[in-house]
Amino acid sequence: MQAKALMAATLMAWAAAAFAQTDEIQVYDGSIAAPGVVNLTWHDNFTPEGLKSPAFPGGLVPDRSLNGVPEWAYGATPWLETGLYLPIYSVSGNRGPSIDGGKVRLLLAEPNAARQTFVYAVNFEFSYNAPYWDPRRFTSEIRPILGVHLRRWDLIANPILDNSYAGGFGGLDFAPAGRVAYHWTRDFASAVEDYSDAGPLRAFVPIGRQSHEVWGVVDERTKFADIETGAGFGVTPSSDRLTVKLMLSRDIWRPRDKSGGGPR
């Protein structure tokens, strides 16, 4: 009940907030770190064939750029995970290596989401941006998370709203993401993902100016880390033609067990 009440209150308080993220290409499924666990996820994505012009004057050119960030997560309660993305970095053709900013997040989720048939959660992120990463110094994101686990199948939707704190509710940018995954074994899955950006709620931009990418993704759990890798293909003129990603995730600290046997 605490989790549901806090989710509802936070959604009402932040109904006009959200933020874009090209450092992290991921569909959230509501899974969070266990209480007391510290997790590190390293995000990297490279665009071997992308747009040749920046999204705004003075911005980074996507073509042949590398973007990434280490994500530090902490399981605060069975239904709350906190996160820190720092530093966000890039290597681009027009600026070379750069530090782009950082962000913090709060992920509120149904406990043991991976074991539930129906999944609901919400993620809030708040970002500080370098002027060449985003024209607005401060941005944020609301990411509702809705999903269904059907035996070996996962169907996940993230109807994301990004906010530049300009233009009120109608100025929120609708950037949905989705994922359909099939688990071949307990440790290996393949998926199709979709990432889009339709523009502000007040008036979506024409299809040709929207960003739409379709991805093929594989996930594998190993003794070293959980690995996710994939390739995305743009299907509109305003999308990068080809992007690849790699995510490595590992628990780097677990609380000491009560028997005195050390960290689990």
Tokens of 64: 């042949």
Q: How far is CA 2 from CA 36, 72, 124, in A?
A: 19, 24, 17
Residue 208 main-chain phi, psi, to 5 deg: -65, -20
Determine the distance from the C-alpha atom of residue 24 to the mean position of all C-alpha atoms in its chain, rounded to a whole number.
5
In this prediction, residue 22 has a pLDDT band, given cuts at 50, 70 and 90, of confident
Q: What pLDDT is attached to residue 258?
A: 60
**Spatial separation of the C-alpha atoms in residues 80 and 27, rounded to whole Å:** 18
pLDDT, average across residues 106-116 = 92
pLDDT band at 20 (very low <50, low <70, confident <90, very high): very low
What is the mean predicted confidence (pLDDT) over 12-24? 47
Element spanning 234, H or E: strand 226-234
Q: Residues 179-233: pLDDT tens digits?
A: 999 999 999 999 999 999 999 999 999 999 999 999 999 999 999 999 999 999 9
pLDDT tens per residue, range 249-260 = 999 999 987 655
Tell me whether residue 261 is in a domain: no
Name which of 11-25, 140-154, 181-195, 218-232 the model is least confident about.
Answer: 11-25
- Does residue 65 carry a pLDDT above 50? yes
Total structural domains in the chain? 1
- Evaluate whether residue 34 is within a structural domain: yes
* Whether the predicted pLDDT of 21 surpasses 70: no
The predicted structure's pLDDT at residue 11: 39
262 in a structural domain: no
Amino acid 128 reads: Y
Q: What percent of the chain has pLDDT over 90?
A: 86
Could you list the residue range(s) of the whole structural domain that residue 120 is in? Answer: 2-253
CATH of the domain at 67: 2.40.160.40
What are φ and ψ of residue 123, in 5° steps? -120, 135
Residue 264 lies in a domain: no
Do the domain assignments include residue 263?
A: no
66 belongs to a structural domain: yes
**Domain-embedded: residue 56:** yes
pLDDT at residue 6 greater than cutoff 50: no
CB atoms within 10 A of CB 215: 20
Report yes or no on 121 lying in a domain. Answer: yes
- Does residue 129 register a pLDDT over 60? yes
- Does the pLDDT at position 263 exceed 70? no
Q: State mean pLDDT over 82-101.
A: 97
* pLDDT attached to residue 256: 82
Mean pLDDT, rounded, of the chain: 91
